[in-house]
């Protein structure tokens, strides 16, 4: 029985209210190729489009065949498509947060050391603050839609948990203030932070984390609005990838994030004229998992893409792959 849901991503084009599009799944299944092609297609329908890589592997530069940085950079050949690659755990991203607190130069080294020690005591706080800084920087732009090329599943779910992480950091600060009081009031001066006094610095740090938390909470409300946010899962028809997709869908439901599209890549379509035993055997194995996906996600748009002969790299190849996503693949049987 054929699904009533069109096997393409046309639905995200039709949904004009979409602001945030996440693309994720297990490593090596074609997430970056999919997210990049989605970005290229969206640029035809929206005024300003941004694609962000939160994957430390940073494959966007390879996909577009262009070097990107941690600032929105215009993609060559487009006047409304931008790309940036961020590494939430890099020292450069953390230093942006320190700079926002007024910590710069040699005179602030002591305070920065204290801050790094404090941040290491709250798991995930480095990523949360870096993500907060990215969101703050995007206020200076006017992007209609932002596409996230996410890291493998576990990293993606951590990103959605950032408000809770910042809550823990704020609670830890309150506990430190209650426990060490006067000593904390003096530490800014003692460490050479260049602040008038430790209390001023402490307030600045607390206000910064609290403001960042407010920003992320505000964005997360949009993430939970299916009119503004959706998640596109990418997988291949194999056990581990199917397992990761199920895990992802369950976790996204817990976070109230909409997901109704699954892209299934690397599907083998044996040639009728030149039958290949290995291809036929592989497709038989794949059919088992494709059937399971269709049964589990019977109310999803399922986009089935063939195993490609060449890697997808460069704008023209991304457009070709985009046609598979948005028009569908028709195999001549």
Q: Residues at the annotated binding site for Zn(2+)?
A: 276, 279
Could you give the C-alpha distances from 257 to 223, 233, 288, in angstroms and in order?
Answer: 6, 12, 28
Distances (CA, A) of 113 to 20, 135, 169: 35, 25, 17
CA distance 129 to 216: 10
Using left for φ > 0, alpha for ψ between -120 and 50, and beta otherwise, residue 25 falls in left
Is residue 55 annotated as a catalytic residue, yes or no?
yes
What does the alpha-carbon distance between residue 75 and residue 247 come to, in Å, rounded to a whole number?
34
Q: Where are the alpha helices (DSSP H) in the chain?
A: 10-14, 31-42, 60-64, 91-100, 109-120, 125-138, 153-159, 162-190, 198-223, 239-254, 277-296, 315-327
Point out the annotated binding site for ATP.
26-33, 238, 265
- Token pair for 186: 């003096």
Which residue in 55, 87, 149, 258 is the catalytic one? Answer: 55
Q: Say if CB 153 and CB 146 are below 8 A apart.
A: no
Residues annotated within the binding site are 26-33, 238, 265, 276, 279
Active-site residue set: 55
């Amino acid at each position: 029985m054929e699904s009533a849901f069109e096997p393409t991503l046309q639905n995200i084009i039709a949904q004009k209210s979409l602001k945030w599009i996440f693309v994720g799944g297990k490593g090596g299944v074609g997430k970056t190729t999919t997210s990049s092609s989605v970005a290229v297609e969206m640029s035809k329908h929206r005024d300003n489009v941004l694609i962000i890589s939160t994957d430390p592997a940073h494959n966007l530069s390879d996909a577009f065949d262009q070097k990107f940085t941690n600032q929105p950079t215009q993609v060559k050949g487009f006047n409304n498509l931008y790309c940036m690659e961020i590494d939430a755990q890099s020292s450069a991203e953390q230093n942006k947060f320190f700079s926002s607190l007024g910590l710069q130069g040699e005179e602030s080294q002591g305070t920065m050391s204290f801050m790094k020690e404090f941040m290491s005591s709250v798991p995930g706080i480095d990523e949360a603050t870096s993500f907060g800084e990215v969101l703050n920087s995007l206020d200076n732009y006017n992007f209609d839609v932002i596409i996230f090329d996410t890291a493998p599943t576990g990293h993606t779910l951590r990103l959605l948990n950032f408000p809770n992480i910042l809550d823990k950091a704020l609670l830890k600060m309150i506990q430190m203030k209650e426990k060490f009081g006067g000593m904390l009031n003096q530490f800014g001066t003692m460490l050479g932070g260049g602040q008038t006094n430790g209390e001023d610095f402490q307030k600045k740090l607390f206000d910064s984390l609290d403001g960042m938390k407010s920003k992320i909470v505000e964005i997360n409300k949009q993430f939970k609005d299916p009119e503004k946010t959706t998640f596109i899962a990418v997988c291949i028809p194999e056990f581990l990838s199917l397992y990761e997709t199920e895990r992802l869908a369950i976790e996204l439901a817990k976070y109230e994030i909409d997901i109704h599209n699954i892209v299934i890549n690397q599907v083998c379509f044996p040639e009728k004229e030149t039958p290949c035993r290995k291809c036929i055997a592989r497709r038989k194995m794949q059919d088992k998992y494709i059937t399971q996906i269709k049964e589990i996600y019977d109310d999803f748009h399922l986009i089935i893409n063939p195993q490609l002969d060449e890697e997808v790299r460069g704008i023209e190849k991304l457009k070709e792959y985009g046609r598979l996503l948005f028009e569908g693949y028709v195999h001549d049987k």
